[in-house]
Structure 1
Amino acid sequence: MREHSYLGEFELMVLLTILHLGDEAYGVPLARELAIRRGREVAVGSVYASLDRLEIKGLIASSLGESTPERGGRAKRYFRVTDQGLQAVHETRRVLSKLWKSLPTMGEDLA
């Protein structure tokens, strides 16, 4: 696999939330679902900043939907995880799993 940028915790959560939402992955629902999963509020601005970074890295792609009167004629910007983004998610999971498995058990050094 081609070397990729390190995924930070929030970026990984955003990617996983996009995968979870599928075709309905756009700004406000992304922030709402992420807040539910994290158990605390998420600023929509931080979600959009992360989406911009992830798109620049090539880990997600976006497309505009139809404009809607409810949004003042503006279109929703939908997001999907690219193949490169999916590889980054799997690689991050693999590395984190190895790190977790390498920790001493609770009765040993961490108690």
Structure 2
Amino acid sequence: MIETQLGEFEEVILLLVGILDKDAYAFRIAEEFEVQTKRAASIGAVHSALTRLNNKGFVTSKMSSATAERGGRRKRIYALTAYGRKALQSARDFRMNLWDQYPGFATS
């Protein structure tokens, strides 16, 4: 059975894939992770998370066209799937439900 829950790191990486959209490739995701969290993430950790997210069906990937800036090399661009968007929504709903139950932050 494939694990469908998101860990914190995977959740942030999945969110960044959605935020970066057509610019969502591993190196750019790692850069944006550091900007958003003020924490470094190795490119290996980002690749591992993207592989896990792909195996869970939360992202797909395709190779871009070659670019001169990369010496003719192509990039693997990641995109959210509908299942990935649903997983993010479920994670958000779960966290918001918990926050709403915490007396110090409850809105009701």
TM-score tier after normalising by the smaller chain length: 0.7 to 0.9
Q: Which residue of 2 aligns with 1:100?
A: 99
Separation (CA, whole Å) in 2 of partners of 1:71 and 1:65: 11
Separation (CA, whole Å) in 2 of partners of 1:30 and 1:105: 34
User: Structure 2: 5+ residue runs without aligned partners?
Assistant: none
User: Structure 1: 5+ residue runs without aligned partners?
Assistant: 107-111
Separation (CA, whole Å) in 2 of partners of 1:103 and 1:5: 26
Give the deviation of 1:66 after TM superposition: 1.2
Give the deviation of 1:21 after TM superposition: 0.7
Work out the number of aligned pairs and report it. Answer: 103
Task: Tell me, yes or no, if structure 1 residue 78 matches structure 2 residue 77.
Answer: yes
TM-score by length of 2: 0.88
Deviating 4+ runs (over 3 angstroms): 68-73
| More moved, 56-65 vs 97-106 | 97-106
| More moved, 64-73 vs 87-96 | 64-73
TM-score by length of 1: 0.86
**RMSD, aligned CA:** 1.5
Give the deviation of 1:83 after TM superposition: 0.2
